[in-house]
Amino acid sequence: MSGLNNPKIPQPKITVTGRIPDAGLDLLRSIDGSDVWAWMDDAVIPTEVRNEQLADADAAVTLLTDRVDDDFLAAAPKLQIVANVAVGYNNIDVDACTRRGVIVTNTPGVLIDATADLAMGLVLMSTRRLGEGERLIRSGTAWQWSMFMMLGTGLQGRTLGIVGMGGIGEALATRARAFGMRIVYHNRRNVDTEVEQRLDAQRVDFDELLATSDIVSLNCPYSEATHHLIDASALAAMKSTAFLVNTARGPIVDEAALVEALVNGVIAGAALDVFENEPTVHPGLLSLDNVVLVPHLGSATVETRAAMATAAASNVVEVLAGRTPHNPVSG
Ligand code: DGY
């Protein structure tokens, strides 16, 4: 009788191209006969090492720092699945995978709360000038409480405009409602009526969202369609008192245009967890006090990273057993 983790092929080779939590590795190792090879360093795997380990791989577990393109796939002629340990999969050429019959999976669901928590944190950090305050104290500059010192913007009664009302957008809206915010969103499709009613959220077009929001939060996937969605003209359409928060993907924002907008007071501030040319940050951002910068920490909790690794590994289990994976993606 075959167990849940019984693969169709004997001794499947699984190549894990980046360091992932043990929960994921343990699940991969529990696949009968599996030969799991994992890169155990936080630095990005060198291409030669990666290609060597892909040569006989039936499954690859990848991180968002891997580029899964024709070169990657050419090095992996036996590959059945690329299981990305991320919800975003813009690092993967899904069409190229599909052409070669390679299934691509991601890890939606498990990182919703962690990412929404971080987005809400960035809303608070930017509107209440927390990074600026921290820098002031750490700089050793003398300070004293005063009535007008570092005044921020309150959230109560303000409008949060969410671009991309998927799971993370919805979870952010839930948090923002607890802060007394009003929610508008822009999405390709309407969200469930129950969700709209619970959040008292209103679907608006992109221009209206930009013009009416006090905070614009980007929670949409990155694709050709969302490349530089926030460019100079989108920034000019925002209120001069508004803030931009990006926890989605860097290239959704034209970073050079954002620097200009922040320098010239076109908008009040921004908070970025992701960057256009990650891990490089536009030098113009570094000297600005009205921008909060954090290093792609959206899903960075111990619990969430373990859940992501487990989700990716269980997609591998399914595909190697000849079943449909839990989280297939398409191009
Ligand atoms: C994702 O999953 O896409 C995040 O950006 C990284 O956790």
Whole-number Å distance between alpha carbons of 302 and 170: 22
Catalytic annotation present for 326:
no
Q: Is residue 52 annotated as a catalytic residue, yes or no?
A: no
The string over 244-268, giving b where at least 16 C-beta atoms fall within 10 Å of a residue's C-beta and e elsewhere, is bbbbbbbbbbbbebbbebbeeebbb
* 198 included as an active-site residue: no
For ligand 1, whether the C-beta of 298 sits within 6 Å is: yes
Atom of ligand 1 nearest to the CA of 247: 5
21 lines ligand 1 (CB under 6 A): no
Which of 249, 276, 282, 318 is flagged as catalytic? 249
Instruction: Give me ligand 1 centre to Cα 88, in Å.
Output: 6
8 A C-beta contact, residue 35 and residue 11: yes
Per-residue CA distances from 222 to 132, 290, 295 (Å): 29, 25, 18
Distance 300 CA to ligand 1 centre (A): 9
Which CATH number, 3.40.50.720, 3.40.50.300, 3.40.1360.10, 3.30.70.980, labels domain 3-110+302-330? 3.40.50.720
Q: How confident is the model at residue 1 (pLDDT cuts 50, 70, 90)?
A: very low
Instruction: Find, among 312, 304, 319, the residue nearest to 114 by Cα.
Output: 304
One-letter identity of residue 100: R
pLDDT interval class at 157 (50, 70, 90): very high
- Report d(CA 228, CA 222) in Å as an integer: 9
**With a 6 A CB cut-off, is 299 part of the ligand 1 pocket?**
yes
Tokens representing 87 are 């919800």
pTM (2 decimals)? 0.95
Residue 324 amino acid letter:
T
pLDDT for 296-329, tens place per residue? Answer: 999 999 999 999 999 999 999 999 999 999 999 9
d(CA 160, CA 152): 16
Q: Where are the domains of the chain?
A: 3-110+302-330, 112-293
Task: Provide the mean pLDDT of the chain.
Answer: 97
Taking the C-alpha atoms of residue 21 and residue 311, their distance in angstroms, rounded to an integer, is 11
87 lines ligand 1 (CB under 6 A): yes
Residue 102 φ/ψ, nearest 5 degrees = -95, 125
Which residue is closest in CA terms to ligand 1's atom 1?
Answer: 86
Ligand 1 touching residue 111 (CB < 6 A): yes
Ligand 1 atom index nearest CA of 304: 7
**Helix H or strand E encompassing 60:** strand 59-62
Superfamily of domain 112-293: NAD(P)-binding Rossmann-like Domain (3.40.50.720)
Q: Which residue has the tokens 């960057």?
A: 275
108-131 per-position pLDDT tens digit: 999 999 999 999 999 999 999 999
Residues in the chain: 331
Question: What's the pLDDT at 301?
Answer: 98
> Is residue 67 a contact partner of residue 91, using CB atoms and an 8 Å limit?
yes
Kindly state the tokens that stand for 170: 């919805």
User: Quick check: CB of 312 below 6 Å from ligand 1?
Assistant: no
pLDDT in tens, 198-247: 999 999 999 999 999 999 999 999 999 999 999 999 999 999 999 999 99
In this chain, the answer to whether the domains covering 3-110+302-330 and 112-293 adopt an identical fold is yes
